[in-house]
Chain A
Amino acid sequence: MKAKQRDYVATGLLWLAALAVIALLGWFLAFILARGLPVFDLEFFIGKDGVGAQLFNSFYILALSLLFSLPVGLSAGIYLAEYAPANKLTDLIRLSTESLATVPSIVFGLFGMIIFVNLLGLGFTIIGGAATLALLNLPILVRVTEEAISAVPESYKEASLALGANMWQTLRKVILPTALPGLTTGITLVAGRALGETAILIFTGGMNVSRHMFDVNPLAAGETLAVHLFAVQSNPLPGTNAEQIADGTAALLIIVVLIFNLCLSLPIRRYQKRLMGK
């Protein structure tokens, strides 16, 4: 039975590949946390070379970028899911969304640099960084919204329309509330990814932090955690323990990503399953 033996061998190899992926992920997390966690102390966060300002900037820029991208992304997604007729314009919009999703982030960075740093003459700013980061979020938000809305059973919509509600009322009272868990999961994943983005922000948000801690001025330069990790590795400042700062920053980034991926999106996904009755 040669075929049967081959089947065993192949099954074994496939199990091995899967275990290797899990092991790789586990090793990654363990390695980064083991090096970084011992660095965490008060000095690391609020000391002279501390990363408190970068941590603040990361969330500040993320929040601003979502402020720009959420309304547009959600609306475009709603349009594609509920309104878009099968015509040339819809094709163009779909092609644009897919293209935007594969644009390398460094290209977004350079585009943002032309617009915000040079044309508008702002220099490296938090607002420029956030607006450019919004472009990265946008296509993912459109897709996530379209998927979440398309997952709502057609009968919900039909029932609402049959009761005499118009499309806007149906969207607001029936479709969006039902799609909310799916939307929230998608938005959390988008946020987790945007938090780690670097290439865009180097060219738009800059590699400096304001001298005032927790500067909310959107025209100040805003180095984020991810940019900081890059900066301390490529140009370690003399007189600082750059290696330890890098270890700590990497661990901090991983923890933030873990929080976004596990603590926020998993429970929502479970809740969504219950809601959809699956």
Chain B
Amino acid sequence: MANRKSSVKLTNQLSKYFFLSCAVLVSLIIISIVWFVGVQGLSTFRQASVLEFFTGTNWNPETNHYGALTFITGSLATTAIAIILGGPFGLAVAVFMAEIAPAKIRSLMRPATDLFAGIPSVVYGYVGLTVFIDLIRKTTHSATGYGLLASGIVLAIMILPTVISISEDSLRSLPNTYKEASLALGATRWQTIWKVLLPAATPGVLTAVILAMARAIGETMAVQMVIGNSSRFPQSLVSPTSTLTSNIVMEMGNTPFGSTWNNALFMMSFILLCISLLLIILVRSASRKGESH
């Protein structure tokens, strides 16, 4: 009896330490990702110039020119287009779901947005390639249709589920009294949404937009399929160019591990990693602002 009692106690103790070590493992994983990718990436600068990497547009590894500004610009520009197109649209849908939709329609839209998030990014790329490219080429009379615009549109669709679900959650979590007070004062539903609910939900909406940016800037396959994969600096919204992610996919296979060229590709992924970590810090400060309200 005493034996069983002590073994029950031991299991209880051991399980606690096992859970703790798994949780610590999560921290160790992110730290080692930063370390390994960072070391590999930063070793680019033993041979290449830091200044040229961040400010140059001459990407010609065969002649030791590692200007990655084109790719950095591509990533930032596609992300910006995606947010401009997809942000307001997603927010409108979130407002509809939180405030206007009848219960039946809402219970249909939740799984629908989940499904949007579940569609693999290669499939988005495939639809972009088979439909949007042609459409853009015809409407803009550009040479190929590939470029920032095509990527931005595909990304705008891909960030919808992120924007919708997080904004809707934050609208829903507002105290009912806000709405009731506003309506009791004689405000219309739209005035209540615009003047009371949206301002109160701002931290949540900001979080949604920042996480959407993180998703857009790191997206690889869909962008690679519609950006055109040219290392030329974008001449217009519809000229082929590249992003950080698309260029890594294009060149990783052709470069030996450990070469400066290869390291430069790791440096690009390190930039992506730093941006996404920075965005997480922004999300945290946005939600902290929300709590202090």
Contact = CB atoms under 8 A, between A and B. Distances in A.
A156 interface: no
Interface of B: 8-9, 11-12, 15-16, 18-20, 22-27, 29-33, 36-37, 40, 89, 92-93, 95-97, 100-101, 105, 108-109, 111-123, 125-127, 129-131, 157, 160, 164, 187-191, 193-194, 211, 214-215, 217-221, 224-225, 245, 248-249, 252, 257, 265-266, 269, 272-273, 276-277, 279-280, 283-284
Contacts of B95: 14
Interface string A241-258: 000001000100110011
Contacts of A15: 96, 100
14 contacts: A6-B190, A7-B188, A15-B96, A18-B96, A18-B97, A22-B108, A72-B26, A75-B18, A104-B214, A104-B219, A193-B117, A199-B221, A229-B123, A261-B118
Nearest to B229: A234
Contact of A246 (B11, B24, B126, B272): B126
Interface residues of A, number: 90
A168 B15 contact: yes
Contact of B93 (A17, A118, A198): A17
B111 A261 contact: yes
Contacts of A13: 92
B120 A198 contact: yes
A223 to B, nearest CB: 12
B220 A104 contact: yes
A266 to B, nearest CB: 7
Contacts, number: 255
Interface stretch (A46-54, A105-113, A212-220): A105-113
Contact of B89 (A17, A103, A142, A254): A17
Q: Chain B binding site: helix, strand, loop or mixed by DSSP?
A: helix
A76 B191 contact: no
A165 to B, nearest CB: 10
B119 A139 contact: no
Interface in A183-206: 189, 192-193, 195-199, 202-203
Interface of A: 3-4, 6-7, 10-11, 13-15, 17-18, 20-22, 24-25, 28, 31-32, 35, 71-73, 75-76, 78-80, 82-84, 89, 92-93, 95-100, 102-108, 110-111, 113-115, 117-118, 135, 138-139, 142, 166-169, 171, 189, 192-193, 195-199, 202-203, 226-227, 229-230, 233-234, 246, 250, 253-254, 257-258, 260-262, 265-266
